[in-house]
Amino acid sequence: MARTVPAHCASCPTARLCLARTLDDAQLDLLAETVGTADVYDAGAYIYRLGDATDRLHVVRSGAIKTIALTPSGEEHVTGFHFAGEIFGLMGFTTGAHDDSALALDKTSVCRVRVSDLPQLWSIGCDNAFLMLIGEREKVLTRQRLLLCQTRAEARLAAFFLQTGELQERRGGNSSELYLPMRLTDLANYLGMTLESLSRTLSRMTKAGLLTRQGTAFVVHRPDDLLAVAGDWATSS
Amino acid sequence: MARTVPAHCASCPTARLCLARTLDDAQLDLLAETVGTADVYDAGAYIYRLGDATDRLHVVRSGAIKTIALTPSGEEHVTGFHFAGEIFGLMGFTTGAHDDSALALDKTSVCRVRVSDLPQLWSIGCDNAFLMLIGEREKVLTRQRLLLCQTRAEARLAAFFLQTGELQERRGGNSSELYLPMRLTDLANYLGMTLESLSRTLSRMTKAGLLTRQGTAFVVHRPDDLLAVAGDWATSS
DNA sequence: CGTTGCCTTGAAGGTTTTCAACCAGTGTGG
DNA sequence: CCACACTGGTTGAAAACCTTCAAGGCAACG
C-alpha cells in the first residue's frame, strides 16, 4: 500500500454506489469518521493475501482489483474483477481468514471498514445499503454463472463485455468504452478458456469491426451485434 | 405452500447452520419468537416467483429447493440448488423485487424472516451469523464458478458430487450418499451442459463403478477416483 | 543485443453439441 | 382394456468448437 487518504465520503464520487448510498450529509460525515481513511495501492500490490485475518470489509473506491485463489496444484485462478463501488473479500467471514488474495490491477483506492465498526455503521443507517450491496453481489455472480454456462468462447466474451459495460454505465461511465486493466491471460483464466481461445476470439471480433482495443480501453462499436452472439443472459434486462 | 409450523429454533436440527448458529438458548427463543413460523412446501411448489416483493430473507430448514431465472428467450435456467441451512433469495434486495423464482424440489420447509425484523435480529446477536452465511454463500458461488471453468463434463460432474458431498457432510449427513432430488435435466442445465452429455457421463461413471443412483440418492463408491477426474478445485481444502 | 513477458497464429486432436431415434414409465380418454 | 400422448432419460453418428502443442512476433528492458 502506497499511502492513505481521508475517506471524505461526502465528496466521494463512489458514495452513491457503496455503503453510503442511502445516507444524508450528516450521516455521510459520521460514516467518513468511522471509516477514517481509504488506502491507495499501486498496480500489482496486494490488498490482502490468502490466510490474512478477515477483520475488514472492502469496497473499491476507484480503480480495479482482481481476486485470485490458488488451486491445489499451485496455479492461480482468477475468481473475480471488482471496480468502483463494489464490495469484495466476503469469503473470509466464515472462518475469519481469507480464502483468496486480492491485488490491484491499476492504481486503486480501497475503503477498508473494520468488522468491529459494523454495528455502529448499522446504527448510522448503512444496514439497508449493505443488503443492497449483497443483493448486487449475488446478481453479478449469478450473471457470471450464466455466462460460464455458455460453451462458445464468442458468447462468453460478448456476454462479459456487455455485462461489464452495463456495470460501468451504472457507475456513471460509458457502456461502450470499457476500462479493463487486466492482462488477457487473467481474462482468459477468469472466463474459463485458454489464452489462445481468447486471443483468437478477440481477433475475430476486431476483424469483424465489433470492437477495438487500445491498452486498457476496449471500445465496443456495435453492441447489438455483440448481443446477437452473446446468446441468452448477456444482460440483466 | 401447504401449511406453517412453529419455528422452534431451539429444537431445530438446522439451528447450528443458519442465523441461529451463534446464539444461546435464551437468544434462540427470542429468534423463534421473531421468526414465528416455518412454511412447508410440497415438491414443485413455488416459494416465491420472479417479480414478487423481496420482503423476506429465506433459509432452508429441511428438504431442497432450486432457483430458476427466465432467459430473454423464455427458457428457464437453473441458477442454484439449496439445502438445509442455506440462505437464498438474496438477489432481490437491490431492487426490492425478486429476479428469480424459487421452488421446492421435495417436501421442504423454509424459514422466512421479514426484512423489517432484521434490526431486531441484529440486536439478538444474529449479525455475526449473517455475515458468516454471506461468507459461506460467497464461498459456494466461487467454487461453483471454478467448477464451471472446467471444460470437461466429467470434471464438472465429479466436482459437483464432491462439493455437494462436502456441504452435506457439514450438515451432519454422509458425504458419500448424496441427496439430490432434482431431475437430470435441471442438473445438466445447472452444470452448463446438455442433458445428453450429463447422461453419457453419468453412464460412464456408473459403468466404471464410481457411483450408483437410486432415485434421489447418489451413492459415491470411490471418492478418490472422483477426485482424480475432478481436476483442480473440486473441494475447498 | 539478447532476454523476457505478453500476445498471435497454425495444425492436429479431443470433447461436446446437435440432431435423431428410441425406450420405459405414467396418465388419459374412448 | 387399449391406444395414445407425454415426461424423463438413453444412445448413436456427424458436425462444430475448443484445447493442446508448437512456433513466431513484438515491445520493453537491462
pLDDT (average), residues A167-195: 95
Per-residue pLDDT at B105 exceeds 70: yes
pLDDT (average), residues B144-152: 95
Q: Is B76 on the interface with A (CB under 8 A)?
A: no
Task: Pick B135's closest partner by Cβ from A93, A232, A233.
Answer: A93
pLDDT (average), residues B32-57: 95
Task: Indicate yes or no: CB of A90 within 8 angstroms of CB of B151.
Answer: no
Task: Indicate yes or no: CB of B119 within 8 angstroms of CB of A141.
Answer: no
**Measured between beta carbons, which residues in chain B are less than 8 angstroms from residue A135?**
54, 90-95
pLDDT band at B233 (very low <50, low <70, confident <90, very high): low
Q: Which amino acid is at A132?
A: M
**Measured between beta carbons, which residues in chain A are less than 8 angstroms from residue B119?**
122, 127
The 10s digit of each residue's pLDDT in A179-191 is 999 999 999 999 9
Q: What is the pLDDT of residue A234?
A: 56
Q: Is B137 on the interface with A (CB under 8 A)?
A: yes
Task: Indicate yes or no: CB of A77 within 8 angstroms of CB of B232.
Answer: yes
Taking the C-alpha atoms of residue A150 and residue A136, their distance in angstroms, rounded to an integer, is 22
Per-residue pLDDT at B70 exceeds 90: no
Q: What is the pLDDT of residue B237?
A: 56
Per-residue pLDDT at B23 exceeds 90: yes
Q: What is the pLDDT of residue B236?
A: 62
Q: What is the pLDDT of residue A45?
A: 95
Chain B: nearest CA to A134, how far in angstroms?
A: 7
Q: What is the pLDDT of residue B52?
A: 97
| Nearest nucleotide (C1') to alpha carbon of A195 | C7
Helix or strand run (H / E) with residue B48: strand B46-48
Residue closest to D16 C1′ by Cα: A152
Q: What's the 3-state SS for chain A? A: CCEEEECCHHHCCCCCCCCCCCCCHHHHHHHHHHHCEEEEECCCCEEECCCCECCEEEEEEECEEEEEEECCCCCEEEEEEEECCCEECCHHHCCCECCCEEEECCCEEEEEEEHHHHHHHHHHHHHHHHHHHHHHHHHHHHHHHHHHHCCCHHHHHHHHHHHHHHHHHHCCCCCCEEECCCCHHHHHHHCCCCHHHHHHHHHHHHHCCCEEEECCEEEECCHHHHHHHHCCCCCCC
The dihedral built from the CA positions of residue B158, B164, B149 and B81, taken in this order, carries a sign that is positive
Task: Indicate yes or no: CB of B91 within 8 angstroms of CB of A142.
Answer: yes
Nucleotides of C under 7 A from a protein CB: 6-11, 15-20
Nearest residue on chain A to B95, judged by CA atoms?
A: A132
**Measured between beta carbons, which residues in chain A are less than 8 angstroms from residue B95?**
135
Task: Indicate yes or no: CB of A127 within 8 angstroms of CB of B118.
Answer: yes
The 10s digit of each residue's pLDDT in A82-95 is 999 999 999 999 99
- What are the grid coordinates assigned to B132, written together? 458468516
Per-residue pLDDT at A237 exceeds 60: no
Chain A: nearest CA to B233, how far in angstroms?
A: 6
Q: What is the pLDDT of residue B162?
A: 95
**Measured between beta carbons, which residues in chain A are less than 8 angstroms from residue B94?**
132, 135-136, 139
* Cβ partners under 8 Å of residue A222, min gap 6: A209, A210
Domains and CATH numbers, chain B: 3-139 (2.60.120.10), 152-234 (1.10.10.10)
pLDDT band at A208 (very low <50, low <70, confident <90, very high): very high
Q: Is A101 on the interface with B (CB under 8 A)?
A: no
Per-residue pLDDT at A132 exceeds 60: yes
Q: Is A92 on the interface with B (CB under 8 A)?
A: yes
Å: B44 CA to C29 C1': 26
Q: What is the pLDDT of residue B2?
A: 65
Task: Indicate yes or no: CB of B91 within 8 angstroms of CB of A118.
Answer: no
Residues near chain C strand, CB within 7 A? A 151, 183-185, 195-196, 198-200, 202-203; B 151-154, 192-194, 196-197, 200-201
**Measured between beta carbons, which residues in chain B are less than 8 angstroms from residue A91?**
135, 138-139, 142
Ranges assigned E (strand) in B76-205: 76-83, 87-88, 101-104, 108-114, 177-179
**Chain mean pLDDT for chain B:** 93
The 10s digit of each residue's pLDDT in A21-77 is 999 999 999 999 999 999 999 999 999 999 999 999 999 999 999 999 988 777 889
Residue A50, Cβ density class (10 Å: 0-12 exposed, 13-18 middle, ≥19 buried): middle
- What are the grid coordinates assigned to B128, written together? 455475526
Q: What is the pLDDT of residue A73?
A: 77
Q: What is the pLDDT of residue B201?
A: 97
Range with the poorest average pLDDT among A6-15, A146-155, B195-204: A6-15
